[in-house]
Amino acid sequence: MSESTDPASPAGQIAAGYAFTGPALDLGALLWDGACRPDLQIRIPLSMLNRHGLVAGATGTGKTKTLQLVAEQLSANGVPVFLADIKGDVSGISAPGVANEKVTGRAADVAQDWEATGYPCEFYALGGIGTGIPVRATVTAFGPVLMSKVLQLNQTQEQSLGLIFHYADSKGLELIDLKDLRAVVAFLVSDQGKAELKGIGGLSTVTAGVILRALTAFEQQGAGEFFGEPGFDTSEFLRTAADGRGLVSVLELPAVQDKPQLFSTFLMWLLADLYADLPEVGDVEQPKLVFFFDEAHLLFNGASKAFLESITQTVRLIRSKGIGIFFVTQTPKDVPGDVLAQLGNRVQHALRAFTPDDAKALKATVKTFPNSPYDLEELLTGLGTGEAVVTVLSENGAPTPVAATRLRAPQSRMGPVEPAALELAVKSSLLYSRYAEAVDRESAYEKISAEQAAAEARAEAAAAAAAAEKQAKEEQKAARGAPKPDPSLTEQVVGSGLFRSLARSVGTQLGREISRSLFGTAKRRR
Distances (CA, A) of 485 to 216, 475, 489, 493: 70, 18, 13, 16
Residues 300, 301, 303: CA angle, nearest 5 degrees: 65
Distances (CA, A) of 75 to 83, 163, 487: 12, 44, 110
| Mean pLDDT, the chain cut into blocks of 10 residues (526 residues total) | 62 93 96 94 96 93 94 98 89 95 95 97 91 94 88 89 93 94 93 80 88 92 89 95 97 83 80 89 90 82 74 89 93 88 94 87 88 92 95 94 97 94 95 92 89 76 83 82 60 52 47 39 42
For residue 75, the model assigns a pLDDT of 98
Amino acid identity at 469 = E
- The answer to whether the bond into 96 is cis (omega within 30° of 0) is no
Q: Cα–Cα distance between 66 and 52 in angstroms, integer?
A: 15
Q: Are 83 and 92 in contact (CB under 8 A)?
A: no
In our burial notation (b when 16+ CB lie closer than 10 A, e otherwise), range 437-458 reads eeeeeebbbbbbeeebeeeeee
Query: What is the model's pTM?
Result: 0.82
* DSSP symbols for 317-336: HGGGGTEEEEEEES-GGGS-
For residue 517, the model assigns a pLDDT of 40
Q: Cα–Cα distance between 110 and 148 in angstroms, integer?
A: 50
For residue 1, the model assigns a pLDDT of 43
Residue 513 CB coordination number (10 Å): 11
Helices (H), 59-204: 63-76, 101-109, 139-142, 144-151, 155-170, 178-188
State the Cα torsion 379-385-387-392 to the nearest 10°: 100
